[in-house]
Amino acid sequence: MTPADFRQKLEAATGVHAKLDVVFQTFDQLHYDGHFGASDTLLHFLDPVSLGEDLTVGVLCITLPAQKHLSERPSFLLRAAEVYPKDMLKGL
């Protein structure tokens, strides 16, 4: 899945719960299929500010179990830590 495809799916989803479903289903499927490179690409292009708190935390939660396979995850977490309280991101 390309970042543009992911963004389009997020925009089509209505409400935070539906958007979280998109986040979890997308990353879960990518990880299940072993497509960690595609997951890294999404992490590279995702903007924590544009996503908002709920979706940013969702991305960090769903990628936590696969973090050893995701070289872009630490960078995404650092970008999130620049705009959101560190207490909110603790343990992620």
Longest alpha-carbon distance in the chain: 33
| Contact (Cβ atoms closer than 8 angstroms) between residue 80 and residue 89 | yes
- Give the pLDDT confidence score for residue 78 in this predicted structure: 95
Q: Token pair of 49, please?
A: 């500010």
pLDDT-based confidence at residue 1 (cuts at 50, 70, 90): confident
Tell me, what amino acid is at 88?
M
Instruction: Give CA–CA dist 7/10, Å, rounded.
Output: 5
- Give the pLDDT confidence score for residue 91 in this predicted structure: 87
- Give the pLDDT confidence score for residue 9 in this predicted structure: 96
pLDDT value at 19 more than 90? yes
Instruction: Encode pLDDT of 28-54 as tens digits.
Output: 999 999 999 999 999 999 999 999 999
pLDDT-based confidence at residue 88 (cuts at 50, 70, 90): confident
The pTM is what? 0.93
